[in-house]
Structure 1
Amino acid sequence: MKLTLKLKVTLIATATILALLGVVGYVQDARLGRDFRVVLETQQDALAESVAAHLGDKLETYLTVLEHSASLVDERLLSDPAARQDFLSRLSAARPLFDGLALVALDGEVLSNDPPLAPQQRIQLADREYFQRVLREGRSVVSRPLMARTGVGPAVLMATPVRDAQNHTRAVLLGGLHLQRANLLGLLAHSPVGRTGHFEVITLGPDPVYVVHPDPERLMTLADPVPPDTRDVVTRKSIGRADWELRVVLPAWEAAAPVREGQRTLVRDLALLGLAAAALVWAVMRWMLHPLTTLHRAIHALRRNPDAQVRLDTRSRDERGDLARDFEALLAELRTRKQELASIFEATTDFVIQTDARGRITYLNPQARQVLGLAADHPVHTHEFSDFNTPETNAQFRQEILPAVLERGHWVGETSFLAAGGREVRVSHLVIAHRDREGRIAHFSGVMRDITEESAARQEAQRQAATLRSIAEHLPAIVAVVGTDERYRYVNQAFERWLGRPSQDIVGRTVRAVLGESEYERSQPWLQRVLAGESVKFEKDYPGRDDIRHLSISYIPLRLGDGVVDGFVGVAQDITVHRQEAGRLKGLAETDALTGLLNRAGFEADLARRIRAGEGPGLALLYIDLDHFKPINDRHGHPVGDQLLRQFAARLRAVVRPTDAVARLGGDEFAIVLSGIREPSHAETVAAKVVEAAGAAFVVGDAELHISACVGLAVGMPEGESVEALVARADTQLYRAKASGRNRWVAPSTV
Structure 2
Amino acid sequence: MTRRSPRKDAAVGDHLTAHVDALAALDRALAQAPPDALRQLLEVAQAALQEAMDERQLALRRYAALFDAVPDPVSILSEAGVVLDLNHAGVRAYGRSREDIIGQPIELLNPDLPSDHLDPVWEALHRGETYVIEVTNMRGDGSRFPVEVHSAGFEHQGEHCIVAVARDLSSRWQAESRYRLLMESIDKGVILFDRQLRVVSANPAAHRILGIPGNGNSLQAMLCPEDWISVDEHGHPLTREQWPAAVSLRTGRIIRSTIVGLYHRPRGRMIWISTTNVPVYGNGRDSPDHVFGLFSDITELKRNNTLFDRAQSLAHIGGWEWDRGLQRLYLTDEATRILGQEPPLQDMAQLLDCLRLNDRSLLQQALLDVIDKQAPFELELQGQRSDGHTFWVRMIGEAEAGDVNAARIAGTVQDITARKQAEETLRIQARTDPLTGIMNRDAVLNDLAARMSNPTHCRVAVLYIDLDRFKTVNDLLGHNAGDELLIDATRRIATAIGTEGLVARFGGD
TM-score by length of 2: 0.28
Say which one has the larger Rg: 2
